[in-house]
Amino acid sequence: MATPINILEETGWIDFNRQQKQSGAQLLALTAFRDRQIRSHWLEPDGRVVSATFLCRGEHFPSLSPHLPEVAWDEREIHDLFGYIPVNHPDLRPLIRTPRWPRHFHPLVADLARTPVWEDAEPDNPAREVEGEGVTIMKVGPTHAGIIESGHFVFSIMGENVLHMDLHLFQNHRGVEAALQGLDLSLVPPLVSRICGADTVSHQANWAMAAEQLAGHQPSETLVRQRVLLLESERVLSHLNDLAQIPAGVGFQVANQRALAMKETWQRGLFSLFGHRLLFDTITPGWTATAQMADLITLIDDVNQTWRGWRTFVEGHHGFQDRMRDTGTVKRGDADRLGAQGVAGRASGLAFDARSLSPWYHDLAVHTSTDAHGDVAARFRVRLDEVEESWRLLRKLATKLSQESAQDVEWQPPQDLCGETVAFTESPHGLNVHVVALENGKVTRYHIRPATFRNWPVLALAVSGTAVGDFPLINKSFELCYSCNDR
């Protein structure tokens, strides 16, 4: 959705963004560009996208963080990757940069033809720790005891209680946005498909949507339905994974193993339907992988046989429910202030689900499930409901698609595609946004703003004040990916 460029002065910039938040709009992204523009995109409650731009004075721009805490990380990231300085930022420590980065190396404005010469230093940034008698500092990571992604957490604890958890993530920072810069259109899909193994379809869909919007190409209703089918299949996959991990967080092995088995059955089904167990490489501009609808219905029926018994079992297990209740609570006000996304937001009573504003879902009437409690139990339950809702949508789509003749006329974006646009989908983890600028068929800027980037600070808040032993459970109830956060 291309929007006119609306350049504002200092006060206008702050006021505009603050008013957007107050009027109930969703922040899509805060994006910096090489020509010193900082642009914000907002999704209004009626589905329109509006944007505003600030042109840096020298290297400086006024920080929005004191007024909009949810962009505190965005501005730190801009500071690291572009070197632009958010004036009055409350906490301008490095977010992605480490002491190993060469001085004045800002990858998104640097000349990357020369490989950076890394400093001979440890990659650790100073942590924010609580000082005082009886306070213990506990460091976890960056490598972990299980099979999970890398991330470093510094806990300040007093007895059992977490006073503060300082997040030191971005160990998985490969430099994906820079790697996309300068690429030819045809080379974008394989990279975008691998930004995150858990939200791959959503990322692929965003790129397809962006390229089609810029070309003014309207995909057919059938193609759109096939894409929604993939998006919902991915949601089921990711939620089944999370629903397996949450019981594992309290050592509830039976529930964990049965859910893992459902996930495996689902993945095997996806492999025989679409050719990939995680749905990589299934959407490109103008194209979407297709499958036999009857087989999809059989797969849903198959998994459902285990699902019904499993749901009754976990919901009726008092010990498990008791562990989840009132653990890691996020209040609605905090969720809203920090811009919590996806399940994390909906389980704290925020009703936002990007599907309800997406034209791709216009005839599907998606039911949004919310829960006011904000605890682990709420995040667990919202996922249970969402899996069933996705199955309902999948059945509906499969029925429609089986009545439609399959293929579209083949379409490829023009080789000289130009312009800037923003595309978004609701990934299993929440609102996932891409801001894309192209010149002459090449990428000049590719900004990826996944939901997890907003949710990490929400997790830190959920953990403070709880017993440190509850961290694995609370962490699993968010199940945030590191890869698309770190990029």
Partner 1 sequence: MKRAQKSLQFRHLDAGSCNGCEQELNALTSRFYDIQQQGIDIVASPRHADSLVVTGPVTDTMLRPLGKVWEAVPGPKLLIALGDCAAGCGVFQAAYASHGGVAGSLKEPDVVIRGCPPTPQDILDQLLRITAAKDPGPKV
Q: For ligand SF4, which is the closer residue by CB, 171 or 356?
A: 171
Closest-approach residue to ligand SF4 (CB) = 194
472 contacts ligand SF4 (rule: CB under 6 A): no
Contact 138, 152 (CB under 8 A): no
Interface with partner 1 in residues 135-174 (CB under 8 A): 142-143, 145-150, 170-174
Q: Tell me how crowded residue 413 is: count the other CB atoms within 10 A of its CB.
A: 21
Q: For partner 1, which is the closer residue by CB, 98 or 327?
A: 98
Q: For partner 1, which is the closer residue by CB, 83 or 175?
A: 175
Interface with partner 1 in residues 219-248 (CB under 8 A): 241
Joined together, the tokens standing for residue 286 give 């103008």
197 contacts ligand SF4 (rule: CB under 6 A): yes
- Which helix or strand (DSSP H or E) is residue 180 part of? helix 176-180
Whole-number Å distance between alpha carbons of 486 and 170: 4
Q: Which of 435, 483, 347, 475 is nearest to 42 (CA)?
A: 435
CB of 276 to partner 1, least distance (A): 9
Contact 68, 19 (CB under 8 A): no
Backbone dihedral region of 180: left (phi > 0), alpha (psi from -120 to 50 degrees) or beta?
A: alpha
CB of 93 to ligand SF4, least distance (A): 28
Q: Which amino acid is at 410?
A: E
CB of 296 to ligand SF4, least distance (A): 24
Is the peptide bond prior to 142 cis by the omega test (within 30 degrees of 0)?
A: yes
CB of 333 to partner 1, least distance (A): 31
Joined together, the tokens standing for residue 375 give 């605890």
Whole-number Å distance between alpha carbons of 4 and 468: 49
Q: Which of 365, 194, 184, 192 is nearest to 278 (CA)?
A: 194
Q: Which stretch binds partner 1 (CB under 8 A): 50-58, 118-126, 291-299, 388-396?
A: 118-126
From the list partner 1, ligand SF4, none, partner contacted by residue 1 (C-beta under 5 to 8 A by kind):
none
From the list ligand SF4, partner 1, none, partner contacted by residue 191 (C-beta under 5 to 8 A by kind):
partner 1
Interface with partner 1 in residues 259-288 (CB under 8 A): 260-261, 263-264, 267, 271, 277-278, 280
Q: For partner 1, which is the closer residue by CB, 196 or 344?
A: 196
Q: Which of 130, 158, 179, 467 lies at the binding interface for partner 1 (CB under 8 A)?
A: 179
CA dihedral 75, 76, 77, 79 (to 10 degrees): 90
Binding mask 457-486 for partner 1 (x = CB under 8 A): ------------------------xxx--x
Whole-number Å distance between alpha carbons of 163 and 465: 6
From the list ligand SF4, partner 1, none, partner contacted by residue 196 (C-beta under 5 to 8 A by kind):
partner 1
Q: Which of 35, 64, 38, 34 is nearest to 51 (CA)?
A: 38
Whole-number Å distance between alpha carbons of 456 and 471: 13
Q: Which of 207, 184, 181 is nearest to 287 (CA)?
A: 207
Q: For partner 1, which is the closer residue by CB, 252 or 411?
A: 252
194 contacts ligand SF4 (rule: CB under 6 A): yes
Question: What residue ranges bind partner 1 (CB under 8 A)?
Answer: 98, 100, 107, 112, 115-116, 118, 122-123, 142-143, 145-150, 170-176, 178-179, 190-191, 194-198, 200, 241, 257, 260-261, 263-264, 267, 271, 277-278, 280, 481-483, 486
**Binding interface with ligand SF4 (CB under 6 A):** 194, 197
